[in-house]
Structure 1
Amino acid sequence: MIKAYAAFKEGGEIQPFEYEPGLLSTHDVEIAIEHCGICHSDLSMLHNEWGITQYPFVPGHEIIGTIAAKGAHVQNFQLGQRVGLGWHAGYCMICHSCMSGDHNLCAQAESTIVSRHGGFADRVRANAASIIALPDSINAQTAGPLFCGGITVFNPLLQFNIQPTARVAVIGIGGLGHIALQFLKAWGCQVTAFTSSDDKKKEALALGAHKVLNTRNPAELGAAKNQFDLILSTVNVKLDWNAYIATLRPKGRLHFLGVTLESLDINVFPLISNQCSVSGSPVGSPASLKTMLNFVEQHDIEPIVEIFRFDQINEALARLASGKAKYRIVLSNH
């Protein structure tokens, strides 16, 4: 029996919940959970903002733990080995995307918290292909957010072959943005932070930004025209996207990582005249996750987190919803 925490209705309070997982599949592993990050996607799913949540709903997809059991065909992990699990808990392994190494684009990929129970629990199960070994030098208590928030901001650097000489800006200095600034600085880029809060200027500079622009000041945004090769948007609110597109250099890219539910209001002419792009991406493949962890090791990068006990889950969710968390929240079984 797996002991978990679940919501039983849309936006409901998280309560203790137990379920019988059944027999362990031959290609699956069971993880004894030590820590689990809370992502804004957990909140969105809790409130069924995407219309796909099934109740009882057990959130949690930034999981760090040890292998407690493994299926008969799992050869690449050992019992007791510390591992991480992110947004995806399995892939079809036969489609073109999987065979091309783009497992994160698999149309049949299984999400850790969609139609299955996630990591707000003492144990969780997933296909071994989606599990990544955690290097010993990486802090297990803070590593969980790397498996969703971290890979979300790291993936575009690989996908678009971002050069270390690139000028990159980040919109939003929060759960995603604070990791993006650290990655980009270590990548070698000239880094600018867009923020609507003067209070975050000093923090953004400490995290790796070379420059901070206040988006509430139209003059500052206007003065940034033709500056950036890439802009990463980590926010989930509607902004004046045309104003940001105006800050792109020729062949620049506005790339969405935060889920903005409102339609984009974008003028096409600036895209054509400067050959600019608008795009988005999900989390990365298992290979990209491993590359990110190697990068984190080499550059001593660590998410900044607040720690709560699992039995403080509702308090932790309220903290995340308030927007005051610095910068990710992790639940700990220790």
Structure 2
Amino acid sequence: MMIKGYACQEKGGRLEPFEYDPGELAADEVEVEVEFCGICHSDLAMMDNDWEMSSYPFVPGHEAIGKVVAVGNRVSEARMGQRVGVGWQSSSCDRCKNCGVGKESLCLNENEVGQTIVGRNGAWADRVRVQSGWAVPIPDALDPSLAGPLMCAGTTVWSPIRHYGVRPGMETAVLGVGGLGHLAVQFLAKMGTQVTGLSTSRSKEKQTRELGATDFIATKESPEDLKKAAGRFDFMISTVSADVKWDDYIEALSPGGTLVICGIPDGAIQFIPFPLIVGEKSIGGGRAGSPSDTQEMLEFCATHDIAPMCEQFAIEDIDRAVQHVRDGKARYRAVVAL
């Protein structure tokens, strides 16, 4: 059976209708009939070969929601018809020490680990394939038309929040209230922390407070407010892709506080080490989590009525939708309906 999708034929090319033969379904895989799929900046980076690992023709899409319509011969038939989500990572080795303790996203056998849109076709198509463990069940309480971005943006901020031990009562901050940041604000608020939104201007203040933030600092309009926050935050998560004055944000950490970087800055991260040392502060990285991390996040969203803010497009309008995201106009995620 041919899979029908939209592919770019060359670096930075337009998306065009495309069909391909996926071959035989692997024994440990499921095939998912795609209902909705988000548009992530990682899709655009792969379309443009920014990371020098794209191959063409290329079908993007790694924030998919759909139903299992076929299973490999090592996968339970009980999964047939199940609504699932598919994110960035599509497989893991299931035998290394990290896979053995629920850290499949940190699988040590990198040469075997599959990414949904690296070396294979993604979910801007009627169907997509993924190792069964990475097809994460979607709770009935979640709107499938909105859930797609949770599979990348959501798990990318949820996982470090959990892995770095955020607890109720902490003072937390979210640097960059956009596609990832607006979800981090909701997670941290519903977890019982006191959340501060950090953004360059006050244009997002009202909405950030509506999402659960108890404070807001406009870092460029009111830089003095950031200076006043010195020593305040137990945990800060950065979702920005721009370079910032990292020393200012390290200064805002409380003694023993942690800054987690999820967004990918344009250049090298530079900072003065002395405040980090004397304050026993730390800087860490955060990435999309394991299937169990993502499942926990989805259940949390279902329980606390958390959803991404999405703009909807038909798959036939995929080029317009992609340009909308490229232009930075999406508030805060874009989703296509297949």
| TM category, shorter | over 0.9
**TM-score, with length taken from structure 2:** 0.96
CA displacement at 1:122 relative to structure 2: 0.4
Counterpart of 2:89?
88
CA displacement at 1:77 relative to structure 2: 4.1
> Is 1:158–2:162 an aligned residue pair?
yes
Counterpart of 1:39?
40
> Is 1:264–2:265 an aligned residue pair?
no
Q: Deviations over 1:46-74 (max 9, x none)?
A: 11121211111111100100011111110
> Is 1:303–2:308 an aligned residue pair?
yes
**Are 1:168 and 1:190, in contact at CA under 8 Å, matched by a contact in 2?**
yes
Counterpart amino acid of residue 50 in structure 2: E
CA displacement at 1:197 relative to structure 2: 2.4
* Partner SS state of residue 69, structure 1: strand
- Return 5+ residue gaps in structure 1 as ranges: none
Q: Deviations over 1:98-117 (max 9, x none)?
A: 11210011143210001110
For residues 97 and 281 of structure 1, do their structure 2 counterparts lie closer, same or farther at Cα, with a shift above 3 Å needed?
Answer: same
Alignment of 1:1-334 (within 5 A): 1-75=2-76, 77-107=78-108, 108=110, 109-216=113-220, 217-333=222-338
Q: Deviations over 1:103-140 (max 9, x none)?
A: 01114321000111000000001110111111111100
CA displacement at 1:26 relative to structure 2: 1.2
CA RMSD of aligned residues (A): 1.0
Structure 2: how far apart are the matches of 1:261 and 1:120? 27
* Partner SS state of residue 259, structure 2: strand
Q: Which runs of 4+ in 1 moved over 6 A?
A: none
Structure 2: how far apart are the matches of 1:171 and 1:323? 17
Identity %: 42
* Partner SS state of residue 143, structure 1: helix
**Are 2:29 and 2:130, in contact at CA under 8 Å, matched by a contact in 1?**
yes
CA displacement at 1:309 relative to structure 2: 0.6
Counterpart amino acid of residue 126 in structure 2: D
Counterpart amino acid of residue 292 in structure 1: M
For residues 87 and 77 of structure 1, do their structure 2 counterparts lie closer, same or farther at Cα, with a shift above 3 Å needed?
Answer: farther
- Return 5+ residue gaps in structure 2 as ranges: none
Counterpart amino acid of residue 186 in structure 1: K
Q: Deviations over 1:160-193 (max 9, x none)?
A: 1111111110011110011111111100000000
**Are 1:67 and 1:77, in contact at CA under 8 Å, matched by a contact in 2?**
no
Counterpart amino acid of residue 119 in structure 1: A
Deviates more, 1:6-15 or 1:173-182: 6-15
**Are 2:63 and 2:87, in contact at CA under 8 Å, matched by a contact in 1?**
yes
* Partner SS state of residue 99, structure 1: helix
Structure 1: how far apart are the matches of 2:198 and 2:22? 45
For residues 76 and 264 of structure 1, do their structure 2 counterparts lie closer, same or farther at Cα, with a shift above 3 Å needed?
Answer: farther
Structure 1: how far apart are the matches of 2:138 and 2:233? 34
CA displacement at 1:150 relative to structure 2: 0.5
Structure 1: how far apart are the matches of 2:322 and 2:201? 23
For residues 167 and 79 of structure 1, do their structure 2 counterparts lie closer, same or farther at Cα, with a shift above 3 Å needed?
Answer: same
**Are 2:157 and 2:287, in contact at CA under 8 Å, matched by a contact in 1?**
no
**Are 1:4 and 1:16, in contact at CA under 8 Å, matched by a contact in 2?**
yes
**Are 2:30 and 2:72, in contact at CA under 8 Å, matched by a contact in 1?**
yes
Structure 2: how far apart are the matches of 1:29 and 1:226? 49
Structure 2: how far apart are the matches of 1:208 and 1:59? 33
CA displacement at 1:78 relative to structure 2: 2.7
Q: How many residues matched?
A: 333
